[in-house]
A = this chain, B = another copy of it.
Amino acid sequence: MSIIQPRTLQGFRDFLPDVMMARESIMERARTVFRSFGFAPIDTPALEYLEILTGKGGEETDRQLYRFEDHGGRKVGLRFDLTVPLARFAAQHIGQLGTPFKRYHLGTVWRGERAQRGRYREFMQCDFDTIGTTSLVADIEIVQVIHDLLLAIGIERFRVHINNRKVLNGLLERFELSDRTGPVLRALDKLPKIGREAVEQELCEAAGLSSEQAERVLTLAEIHGSNESILEQLEPLVAGSQRGEAGLDELRRTVEACAAAGVGTDRLQIDVSIARGLDYYTGTVYETFLTDLPTIGSICSGGRYDDLASLYTKQQLPGVGASLGLDRLLAALDELKLLEKAHTPADLMVAYFDKTRLHDYLRIAAELRRGGLAVECYPEPKKLGQQLKYADRKGFPYVLIAGDREFAENVCQLKHLASGRSETLSLENRAEAVIRFVRERAVS
């Protein structure tokens, strides 16, 4: 029989235990934080009718769609984000669910991107949104969630950057350039990459601003300083525009409320340069940067929108949300050496030392598990050296060893692999001495 070459498609990955354990740990922490704010989980199918997906994310997204005909000849596609499925979901179920509706969704999405280093065609998104309310409280909460989320993951040095679309929109309104918002945002987005002069040129040529208007827009985008200072500098620029003043007020209230809710002022930054490419944002927008690795880009982004599901329902559904980029975050944690890489989830391995004692080993392992430890029994009565080598390679902290002498005294040897030291511990009372020993060491 000829062998089929075992391989994955380009842009797709296997997750081995070390990376998968880190992924699971972050996902579980994310779920816990989302739930702690009352966000509830949902899931939607990987496959949707093609008409649900096309035309939602622009030409590039349409091109990247994995699409085909199913067994019944229906045109279908794999979801490329979790926002379009949320819009379809909300249109279908919001009557039953009621508003405000707070949901989180951890799910895989697929995009047939051109293959290049660090670009994947299958990746995980972690979205959270509050829909059905225009209240700024929901916007404020998004900052709190990002804040708690990063702390729960073990990241201390980060900053949530916020902006408000109404500020720029208000300014453009005053210039009677409201219809140019798209081109202006796209030009501003390039500021860090192509520089002031080139952006100014694009604002005049592509967006049709006068050079005075372009100057004013650029001045706005370049404002920086403390939150107080930025708010102060913005005030004269938006004065006279109702929308601009409303945006400024929302920024101010968000900053104040976040401080009251315990978000340190060093962790929230008004950043007028944040444009966010997507057209549908209408209020607060968010990006999140790691202080020690700013180049990796925003690891959690989002914003407020006026109408989520207008393509699928006549009911207007305003909302606000953000998305954690799990793969980017993991890459960052790896680079910052904050990723603990284990190859086993177990706290200790029970050596199969005496081949006549299997029942004892199984019983002890079951007792340790009932005490909350994760325990692997080595399955074969091989030489102890071989078993220890396996345990060392897999990264078990401890190996429990017991033979005739230990069983006669109802004790065991607990070998700490890193130091090579052994402790003699009692097995009485369902091995509670072992459970306590391992737990105390695990905490410290």
Q: A interface vs B, CB < 8 Å?
A: 1, 3-10, 12-17, 20-21, 23-24, 28, 31, 35-49, 51-52, 64, 66-72, 74, 76, 78, 88-89, 91-93, 96-98, 100, 102-103, 108, 110, 112, 122, 130, 133, 135, 137-138, 140-141, 144, 148, 256-257, 260-262, 309-314, 343-346, 349, 352, 358-360, 362-363, 365-366, 369, 373-380, 390, 393-394
Contacts and interface: CB of A to CB of B under 8 A. Distances in A.
Contacts of A313: 3, 6
A3 B316 CA distance: 13
Q: Which of A10, A43, A67 has the most CB of B within 10 A?
A: A43
Contacts of A8: 44-45, 48, 92
Given A6-B313, A47-B66, A148-B369, 9 more contacts: A1-B310, A6-B89, A7-B92, A17-B97, A21-B41, A36-B373, A38-B375, A144-B366, A261-B365
Nearest to A96: B16
Contacts of A69: 68
How many monomers of this protein are in the complex? 2
A38 B103 CA distance: 33
Given A1-B310, A46-B46, A38 B70 contact: no
A16 B97 contact: yes
- The 7 A-B residue pairs whose C-beta atoms are closest, nearest first, are A38-B376, A68-B68, A260-B359, A17-B40, A35-B345, A12-B45, A38-B346
Given A12-B47, A98-B390, A42 B20 contact: yes
A46 B10 CA distance: 13
A270 to B, nearest CB: 19
A24 B31 contact: yes
A41 B349 CA distance: 17
